[in-house]
């Protein structure tokens, strides 16, 4: 059974810092991995999708890497801003059409 | 608005009552998923449809839960005889299965927050 963990559970940083969020999964036979953002009481917004054959994806200040063999992914946020404050969720999908298995999330607070 | 919509956004009910939630997916999406999210946790998969066919159900989906997608468009999730443990955010997502067999990413709705008193 696939299990996804995320470290740290919560993180508080001053504005402007670069930071790294970590995601680990137990079964490396994944189809893809996706990072989501969730604001309090809201649904999920997709940030970055990495296919199993890819090593990283970038979008603006965000960079996500994938090391499938070791079961790890990192989300790097450059020059953090207060608007980045949210919960960041990592999710893996095993094969075509299968549901996501989510991690518990990292709750990020960026202080002005 | 062409995103996934869910109604109601909030529902408060008393234990033992039945509740029904609705999800309207993105119009061209043939796959629809339901997830449940409790406080401080990531979403957990409940069930998914391809068109009107329910293809998979999680063990989390007890007999009190039933989901339908009668015309392959919107979907409903009903919980009968609600219990306090059913209090959670219920999220719907949709995606498209292409003729090539490739499934595109899932787009999530805003969720329905259920509180059972």
Residue A67 pLDDT: 95
Query: Six-digit token pair at B106?
Result: 């899932």
- Residue B114 near residue B7 (C-beta atoms within 8 A): no
Residue A13 has pLDDT above 60, yes or no: yes
For residue A43, give the nearest of B55, B56, B110 by CB distance: B110
Output A29 or B6, whichever has higher pLDDT: B6
Pairing of strands B19-24, B10-13: unpaired
- Residue A31 near residue A96 (C-beta atoms within 8 A): yes
CA closest to B40 among chain A residues: A104
Residue A97 pLDDT: 59
* The dihedral formed by the CA atoms of A46, A26, A31 and B96, expressed in degrees to the nearest 10: -50
**A1 band by pLDDT with thresholds 50, 70 and 90:** confident
The nearest CA of chain A is from the CA of B26 a distance in Å of: 15
| Contact status of B111 with chain A (Cβ, < 8 Å) | yes
For residue B42, give the nearest of A49, A89, A97 by CB distance: A89
Please report how many Cα atoms fall inside a 13 Å half-sphere around the Cα of residue A76, on the Cβ side.
12
To the nearest whole number, what is the mean pLDDT of chain A? 93
The nearest CA of chain B is from the CA of A4 a distance in Å of: 10
Residue B105 pLDDT: 79
Query: pLDDT of A44-98, one tens digit each?
Result: 999 999 988 999 999 999 999 999 999 999 999 999 999 999 999 999 988 765 6
- Residue A43 near residue B111 (C-beta atoms within 8 A): yes
Cis preceding-peptide flag for A8 (omega within 30 of 0): yes
Residue A69 pLDDT: 92
Residue A41 pLDDT: 80
Which of B93, B117, B113 is closest to B21 using CA atoms? B113
| Residues counted in chain A | 112
Residue B59 pLDDT: 86
Residue A96 pLDDT: 62
* The dihedral formed by the CA atoms of B5, B10, B16 and B22, expressed in degrees to the nearest 10: -10
Question: What's the whole-number mean pLDDT along residues A20-36?
Answer: 93
Blockwise average pLDDT, block size 10, chain B, 117 residues? 89 97 94 93 93 89 93 94 96 85 81 96
Residue A106 has pLDDT above 90, yes or no: yes
Question: What's the whole-number mean pLDDT along residues A31-39?
Answer: 93
Question: What's the whole-number mean pLDDT along residues A10-19?
Answer: 96
């Amino acid at each position: 059974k696939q299990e996804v963990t995320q470290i740290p559970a919560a993180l508080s940083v001053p504005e402007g810092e670069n930071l790294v969020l970590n995601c680990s999964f137990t079964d490396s036979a994944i189809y893809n991995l996706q990072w989501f953002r969730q604001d309090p009481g809201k649904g999920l917004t997709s940030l970055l999708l990495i296919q199993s054959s890819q090593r990283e994806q970038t979008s603006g200040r965000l960079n996500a890497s994938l090391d499938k063999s070791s079961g790890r992914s990192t989300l790097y946020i450059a020059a953090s801003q207060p608007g980045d404050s949210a919960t960041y969720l990592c999710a893996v999908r095993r094969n075509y059409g299968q549901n996501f298995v989510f991690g518990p999330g990292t709750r990020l607070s960026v202080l002005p | 608005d062409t995103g996934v919509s869910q109604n109601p956004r909030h529902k408060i009910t008393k234990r033992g009552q039945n509740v029904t939630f609705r999800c309207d997916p993105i119009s061209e999406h043939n796959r629809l998923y339901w997830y449940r999210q409790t406080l401080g946790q990531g979403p957990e998969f409940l069930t998914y449809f391809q068109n009107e066919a329910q293809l998979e159900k999680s063990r989390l989906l007890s007999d009190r839960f039933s989901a339908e997608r009668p015309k392959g468009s919107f979907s409903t999730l009903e919980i009968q005889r609600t219990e306090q443990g059913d209090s959670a955010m219920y999220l719907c997502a949709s995606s498209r299965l292409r003729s090539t067999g490739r499934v595109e990413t899932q787009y999530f709705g805003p969720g329905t927050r259920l509180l059972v008193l």
